[in-house]
Chains A and B, each alone.
Chain A
Amino acid sequence: MSVPVKRPEIIADGFPPRRPRWVEIATSADHKDLGRILITGSLGFLFIALVELLLMRLQLAIPENTFLDPVTFNRMLSLYGATAIFLFAVPLALGFFYYVTPLQIGARGMALPHFGQLGVWLYIAGATVLYSGFLFTPTEAGVNPLAPLSSLAFLPNNGVDAWAAATGLATLGFVLIAIDLVATLRKLRAPGMAWRRLPVFSWAAAISSWLLLVIGPVMLAALTMLLIDRNFEGIFFSGEAGGSPLLWQHLSWIFFTGSYMLVLIFALGTIAEIVPAMARKPLFNRGAVIGSLVAIAIVGTAAWMQNMFTAPIGIGWMYFAMAMSLALIVPFGLVFFNLIATLVGGTARMRAPLLFAAGAIAAIAVGLASEVSHSMVALGWRLQHTTDSTAATHFALVGGAVFGGFAALHWWFPKMTGRTMGETLARMSFWTMVLGTLLAFVPLFLAGAEEGQVVDAYKFFSGGAIDTYNLIATIGAFLLAAGIVMTLVNAILSREGGAATGHDPWGGDSLEWLALSPPDPHNFDVLPDVRSPRPMRDIREAISRRTRRAEQPARESQPVA
């Protein structure tokens, strides 16, 4: 007879929140709250970027349109670029890194939570500055405001200053978040979570953070010089007075190329989580995938001069940039090969995350393959600065940030809310987005390569097939936007109305699926000893082994004494 053990009574929940919920979230330094702020904020800015894109596409629907005047068009273009990069793509990636990484490595929080908190607030401050356009005049200098168009002499209003302040605040925020992620990944991994067992998405977080620690300060330095030039009579980027307009190009392209790579590393890291779990196989050649992501960060960023083939730089530098760009074929090719090889022999469950992951792989492949042709120097002289390069960049970044971001959203939505996103709406959204992406950007490839339509122009002149291409591209952009809005609506509706799920809806391999959905503030009650790269699978197997043993019937014949 067993004696009942008297347990001490500990009540761990049930305390009423002391302050209103929004105050709790707004002042929280918890990585899950901050991650949700980043993800929600960047999805909101995705919508705003779409509106700006559609306004520009409406202007370009027919030749010599007068829907937008040139100044308004240039403002839309500048706002669109800053919003898409600084307020959507990079913070979306960082938001998922910030939310998921501590859960994946079995940490109960961040190492430097107030760094991350300050980073999120700097991002919000940057967004506020960029969109306080009614207080000043927005910048007209374009996506990357090349010196000396960005100088005081040519754009004397405060638009460029506000752009520089906004992107600078956001970039500083990203760097602080990256410092926090680097420290957390180094210090707070669970027992047994060696680097070789770290999930690929956490590797992507580590690589992206280190990348930001390199490219972020470069951009901050460039922006500081720009502000000095404009406000304190500096000459860093002036052509005549001993400065160099090319200096801005080098510094800014290092950042933009690096953040392009960051978005792709985020997308591939996400896909490398989804594909193995959905195919119920381990990632094929895990080590090679991780090594490839490292190589993409280094070699990809080293290819920044690929954007400067028309600038007065030596041909040797152009060949160097081309060699770096072409070398990227190897790591990207290996990642794609290994992701597909993971599917081979597996049992793929075609749910929304895998669907969006497949869309991301296809779109990124189209974008990068076109970038390969743009990096062939003489061909770059023909294709760069045309809508062909617009199309290539959009294929890669819509693939990485939108398809990849939506794959991440569908994948981790159950973890964040305890509910899955609606599958029907997800499928409708996906196929609308696929059709929209093809219609919006394939005609731009043709308009650029065949007709030489130039990039960033507020109008084009009628002639040949260029009219048809632009009209189709406008229709496609509207379809793409409709598809994206469907997923945003799906996310909003599913927060309350989605099907409730347990802690592990997908049968994932990494530790975030051990925590509750949504996780407790301290993430985990108990932490297992990590013994393999698939700790959650180990736990599931241990449980089923024990269950089997317990369910074994007693032997029929008792040994006779």
Chain B
Amino acid sequence: MGHAAAEQRSPPSERLYNIASRPRAGEEMEESDSGVKYLIGRSAGKSAVIAAFVATHVATMAGLWFGGVRLPQFNFNMLNGWLVLGLTADPVQTFVIGGILHYTSGIIWGVVFALIVHPALGRFIKPLAALTPTNNYIKGVLWGLVLWVISSAFWMPLLIDPLFGGGVVGPFLTKFGLNGVQALFANLLWHSIYGVNLGLLFSPTPAATRGSWRAASGVGVR
């Protein structure tokens, strides 16, 4: 009764925030069991999907803008579209279908990171064991580096090169069409952007941490 009365006294915007952020059935148990809170959502899976989607989108848009900073453009939507539809399909169709594939891949890599790699890194690298935003960030950056190696060593030379008849993509992306080794480092930049965003957004921290995001950012605090 006292709690309800206190809620009634708070301003409407705060009451709305409290209602929207209240755990639904089953979610409260999940949080209290794991003892971990997330920057987005209340479960590792939901947080991973949203963080990976944002990370993929930011990196994809950055890749399309690479030409503006004197770098080879990285259009992963078209590259994925060419893989399934071939080089002669309608460009808009190729971009859209390739985009769906590319975003799906980005989200799946993010979920693999969040549910498997993130906890494993904490287990195997002791300094990264604590769930702090900085450690979470470093893990995201490391995952970006791993994906850069996979993309440069396998995906580009083994899947993209044959599409163009061979000889277009060099080993470990040391050649990419007219571009030389700058393609390898532009790919590093692309995957670093992905890893940075993933590591910053997928950030599990102990639920008992003093000073929540709401308190520190002033939301709901007067």
The answer to whether A and B come from one shared complex is no
A residues near B, CB below 8 A? none
